[in-house]
Structure 1
Amino acid sequence: MSDTASGAQVSGLTEAAHEPGFRQSVELMFNRAVSVMDLSPGLVEKIRVCNSTYTVRFGVRLRGQIHTFTGYRSVHSEHMEPVKGGIRYALAVDQDEVEALAALMTLKCALVEVPFGGSKGGLCIDPRAWEPHELEQITRRFAYELIKRDLINPAQNVPAPDMGTGEREMAWIADQYARMNTSDINARACVTGKPLEAGGIHGRVEATGRGVQYALREFFRHPRDVGLAHLEGGLSGKRVVVQGLGNVGSHAARFLALEDDVRIVGVAERDGGLWDENGLDIEQVTAWLRQTGGVTGCPVGTYVEDAAALLEAECDILIPAALEGVIHRDNAPRVRAPLIIEAANGPITAAADALLRERGVVIIPDLYANAGGVTVSYFEWVKNLSHIRFGRMQRRAEEARNHLLVNELERLSADKGLGWTLAPDFKTRFLRGADELELVRSGLDDTMRDAYQTMREIWHARAEVPDLRMAAYVTAISRVARSYQTKGL
């Protein structure tokens, strides 16, 4: 990242003058925020820089020969420990990308008040090119290289899934750690995003998509903010385009369609897109995707060959939920959605961000919008350290207290001859104590509400902070700065 002085010179025109890469976009957004903050240059530099990046090259014998793979684990900030961040498998993985993602993780955790520093990992590999048993060998060797250097450790560095990885890979990593640390009672806490059978938590797979839903719900609770996006009313009935139906996009689309009555009018995938003005049946679309790996030939909606064109389609809300940089200087002027929520990391370049802001488009930033994953990862980590399932101690006690209340109300009604009874569905819902999934969703909802309210307070109170992204960065950087200051820096 550039120094603070150069950051103070960043303007919308400067940002839009060239097409920055992902890391440079993060740098520009960081500099834009610190330019309005009263921080010493030394402290800004400490927050800005990536503490360390470990590059590993290891060989695995596969298919009769040795294949060499390159992986990374970057630690951006240790103002809080352990540090947290996913591991992605993709051919585009490189040091710049991993360090930029680690920086975002630092700020994301600070924004939603999850007590982790920021980290990120990546392996330069196409996971689809290998059979599951081969991928397990590769994953275990990569994990071995990181574990022996404490770059995977429950108290120091806790990975999670990212693009190209999931529960399966996290289970392999957790097992590899346990094999190498046989006496560590907290071994399961070395990684999050695990299957339930390996110490995972209910609601983790859906967490990032669910967080996007909760973020939109909170945005639409504030009429002033909705008006700034040139929209009106609530979330119900809004026309939505989703780019990328991976884990995040598919869950967000399904929850919004089924629970908030939005119309998913368009979806974009790597092999094309689908469009239906009346709303796509997202369950059928995702089932087709799981079956075929693409949307070509899907019996739902109208097939659109140029998936990128759907980013420019007329809609109320655009949800880019795939790769970074999909909205850039060239296509930003043609994006017609008045509200964009970044479900992916860095889907809008700094140049595009400046152009969209000039046009009055409201952007709910990635720093906030896709924080659901790390929030529920935090819950899983706490569960692993406490060695008890959430709700196990209090669920039946809650039910017993609720039964006492309902029984007393019904007794009073009978004694006083009031003649009223509680509706059966109310009794069923009220009497049942919260299970782990309900508690996880409640905690995530509370986290997303609080973080948004903090951002919007800065957004509306400070003239030099004209948008939500800048408000998110200012909030997060301030918290990291205070953490370092308490350490005597």
Structure 2
Amino acid sequence: MSSQKENTATNFYKEPGPKLDKESPFESMMERFRNAAEILNLDEGMFQYLASPFKQVIVSIPVVMDDGRIEVFEGYRVIHDNVLGPSKGGIRYAPDVNLDEVKALASWMTWKCAVVNVPFGGAKGGVRCDPKQLSMSELERLTRRYTANLLEVFGPDRDIPAPDMNTNEQIMAWIMDTYSMNSLKTETAVVTGKPIILGGSQGRKEATGRGVVTVTLAALSKIGLMPNKATVVVQGFGNVGSISADLMYQQGSRIIAVSDISGGYYNEKGLNIPEMMDYLKSNNNSLEGYPHAGAISNEDLLELECDVLIPAAKEDQISRDNAPNIKARIISEGANGPVTANADSILNDKGIMVIPDILANAGGVTVSYFEWVQDRQGYFWTEERVNRRLNRMMRSAFDNTYAVSEQYNITLRQAAYVYAIDRVATTLKMRGIYA
């Protein structure tokens, strides 16, 4: 191979899609995608195909505000990939939403679906607005017009939205109704994350936390540690963190520290998680003032000696600055992007097993898939059946990822991306390129 060709082969991996801040979790994801593509030795054409979104849509959303004036918002929907099936991904409402962010999140969804063997491609949507400044009626009009502008994109066999940042089951209900009214029939399968009464699934709220625990238990078995002998630290006590902590507590693990927005709470002998969850509900969703634990800073909490660390709060919590001080044996990423790309090698050198976000927190999209299946069948499952099938799929995904990590002698994060990208690339090669 000529030196010119060698340079080309080296350089095309360095030209992904969106150019984002290096400290963002999305740029970290793209760096990991490039790394996995090199391990798989993808040719340039396949790399460019998988790095490029299939469809990008920008829409203007005129809304008549409550005071009678017209305000125009900008909305986005990006379909990164639909090779494995209809595209799937949330819609976020935020004042700083932009197309690059949505493109990166859409590609993230592609790999998340692929790694858990859910037959969806990746998508993401967003509207640039501040929902806190909108009344409920303004929010409804914005949502319905956004949906109307994307009627040719959305569809139970094409593209399936879900809740994300600052959106919820009510907004999904408006999307479903708007789409259904234009279709002249009720289409519950066009969105997931709906209220139960409109075709939502049992177990959806707990799904992400339950998935985190399933893969954590699988990891503990790999290092030969019983759950009832494990010590656990959980950063974040929202939906994902509190459910993860509670389920690990039910397994007999000793939860020595948790945190929420009010601070960190530490008890070396173990925290009573059900009591803390009750306290949270009775104290305006805050642990502030909880009496049976000592205070600990967020920085010190992450660096506690423990068997399992579950960062379930926000991105970029473990970086090259504090990675050398992490003493956990297993990190299970409940949040998206809690470990920066430049911390990966440090944690690996320390022998810490990191279960990556695209695997660890994929329980939510897995049960969203279950919701879609139930809507298509018109037959709904019990919560016990949902949980049983979720546990089976998450355990299978962990086992597949672990096998790839051993095959290539790479980390679980690299293995998750290698497995996901290889699955999409192999499917694409079998389907061929339509011309």
Deviation at 1:92, TM superposition (A): 4.4
Describe the superposition over 1:83-129 as per-residue Cα deviations: whole angstroms up to 9, x where unpaired: 01112334443323222221111111111111111111223445445
Determine whether 1:451 maps to 2:370. no
Distance 1:71 1:63, change over 3 A: same
- Which residue does the alignment assign to 1:297? 289
- Which residue does the alignment assign to 2:416? 472
- Which residue does the alignment assign to 1:274? 265
- Judge conservation of contact 2:219–2:330 (CA < 8 Å) in 1: no
Structure 2 counterpart of 1:329, which letter?
R
Structure 2 counterpart of 1:447, which letter?
M
Distance 1:114 1:70, change over 3 A: same
Distance 1:133 1:331, change over 3 A: farther
Spell out the pairing of 1:28-47 with structure 2 (5 A cutoff).
28-47=31-50
- Judge conservation of contact 1:270–1:294 (CA < 8 Å) in 2: yes
Distance 1:244 1:71, change over 3 A: farther
Q: Distance between the aligned counterparts of 1:332 and 1:106, measured in 2?
A: 28
Structure 2 spans left out of the alignment, 5+ residues: 1-7, 15-20
Deviation at 1:271, TM superposition (A): 3.3
- Judge conservation of contact 2:63–2:138 (CA < 8 Å) in 1: no
Q: Highest Rg: 1 or 2?
A: 1
Q: Distance between the aligned counterparts of 2:377 and 2:245, measured in 1?
A: 33
- Which residue does the alignment assign to 1:440? 386
- Which residue does the alignment assign to 2:125? 121
Q: Distance between the aligned counterparts of 1:333 and 1:459, measured in 2?
A: 23
Deviation at 1:188, TM superposition (A): 0.3
Q: Distance between the aligned counterparts of 2:111 and 2:278, measured in 1?
A: 35
- Judge conservation of contact 2:235–2:260 (CA < 8 Å) in 1: yes
Structure 2 counterpart of 1:482, which letter?
T
- Which residue does the alignment assign to 2:97? 93
Deviation at 1:276, TM superposition (A): 2.0
Q: Distance between the aligned counterparts of 1:267 and 1:67, measured in 2?
A: 43
Q: 152, 155, 158: which is aligned to 2:157?
A: 155
Q: Distance between the aligned counterparts of 2:163 and 2:338, measured in 1?
A: 19
TM-score by length of 1: 0.79
Q: Distance between the aligned counterparts of 2:270 and 2:131, measured in 1?
A: 33
- Judge conservation of contact 2:80–2:122 (CA < 8 Å) in 1: yes
Distance 1:63 1:301, change over 3 A: farther
- Judge conservation of contact 2:63–2:71 (CA < 8 Å) in 1: yes
- Judge conservation of contact 2:55–2:80 (CA < 8 Å) in 1: yes
Q: Distance between the aligned counterparts of 2:234 and 2:125, measured in 1?
A: 26
Spell out the pairing of 1:352-391 with structure 2 (5 A cutoff).
352-390=343-381
SS at match of 2:59: strand
- Judge conservation of contact 1:22–1:97 (CA < 8 Å) in 2: no
Spell out the pairing of 1:1-80 with structure 2 (5 A cutoff).
5-6=10-11, 20-64=23-67, 65-80=69-84
Aligned residues with identical type, % of pairs: 41
Deviation at 1:130, TM superposition (A): 4.5
- Judge conservation of contact 1:4–1:44 (CA < 8 Å) in 2: no
Distance 1:234 1:91, change over 3 A: farther
Deviation at 1:42, TM superposition (A): 0.5
Q: Distance between the aligned counterparts of 1:233 and 1:21, measured in 2?
A: 34
SS at match of 2:425: helix
Deviation at 1:79, TM superposition (A): 0.9
SS at match of 1:177: helix
Q: Distance between the aligned counterparts of 2:378 and 2:207, measured in 1?
A: 21
Describe the superposition over 1:403-458 as per-residue Cα deviations: whole angstroms up to 9, x where unpaired: xxxxxxxxxxxxxxxxxxxxxxxxxxxxxxxxx21221121111112111111112
Structure 1 counterpart of 2:241, which letter?
G
- Which residue does the alignment assign to 2:338? 347
- Report the count of equivalent residues: 419
Q: Distance between the aligned counterparts of 1:99 and 1:198, measured in 2?
A: 30
Deviation at 1:4, TM superposition (A): 6.0
Q: Distance between the aligned counterparts of 1:6 and 1:173, measured in 2?
A: 42
- Which residue does the alignment assign to 1:172? 174
Deviation at 1:20, TM superposition (A): 3.7
Q: Distance between the aligned counterparts of 2:232 and 2:315, measured in 1?
A: 20
- Which residue does the alignment assign to 1:283? 274
SS at match of 2:287: coil
- Which residue does the alignment assign to 1:422? none
TM-score by length of 2: 0.88
- Which residue does the alignment assign to 1:484? 428
Determine whether 1:111 maps to 2:98. no
